[in-house]
């Protein structure tokens, strides 16, 4: 089983912008009756289907599969709940970790979150100066929840 170990932080300031260029992401969620998340994502000209299990601390099961971009577009248009998540993702490698900074658009405009995937729950992490408050355990910042309760409505 694949496991995702991830921490999330709010971003402060703009110093991170000089370190990377961004890629547009468009993603949506298909409703389930459990704590399982089914995500459809288009990144550039690639499509992905991801299934994630219930969070247990900073970890959860995760399975991601490439799918034809045309299928992903159709799923986003016909199967996913609204609003869709629109964001630009910037990747910045610092030491042994890669930070992913998501600058949200649409109904989540104004929200910027940095995520980092770890190899171990207890991995020591050096925080760049542009990292703010940790929000790993705050479900409001989960992308699936931002699709249901956008940042603009808080």
State pLDDT tens for residues 17-68.
999 999 999 999 998 878 899 999 999 999 999 999 988 888 889 999 999 9
Mean pLDDT of 127-132: 96
Which of 29, 48, 65, 141 does the annotation list as catalytic? 29
DSSP state of 153: G
Domain count, the chain: 1
Mean pLDDT of 57-84: 95
So what's the pLDDT on residue 1? 56
Instruction: Give the range of the structural domain holding residue 72, as residue numbers without chain letter.
Output: 3-153
Closest CA to 27 of 100, 77, 63, 91: 77
Could you tell me the two tokens for 68?
């034809």
Looking up residue 62, the CATH number of its domain turns out to be 2.40.320.10
Instruction: Count CA atoms within 13 Å of residue 133 on its CB side.
Output: 6
Query: Is 29 a residue of the active site?
Result: yes
């Amino acid at each position: 089983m694949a496991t995702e170990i991830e921490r999330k932080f709010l971003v402060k300031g703009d110093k991170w912008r000089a370190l990377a260029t961004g890629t547009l992401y468009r993603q949506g969620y298909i409703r389930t009756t459990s704590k399982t998340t089914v995500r459809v994502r288009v990144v550039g000209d690639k499509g992905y289907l991801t299934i994630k299990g219930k969070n247990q601390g900073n970890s959860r099961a995760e399975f991601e599969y490439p799918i034809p971009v045309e299928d992903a577009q159709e799923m986003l248009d016909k199967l996913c709940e609204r609003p869709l998540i629109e964001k630009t993702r910037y990747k910045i490698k610092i030491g042994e970790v890669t930070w992913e900074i998501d600058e949200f658009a649409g109904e989540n405009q104004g929200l910027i979150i940095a995520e980092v995937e770890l190899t171990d729950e207890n991995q020591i992490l050096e925080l760049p100066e542009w990292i703010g408050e940790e929000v790993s355990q705050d479900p409001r910042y989960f992308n699936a929840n931002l699709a249901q309760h956008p940042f603009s409505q808080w």
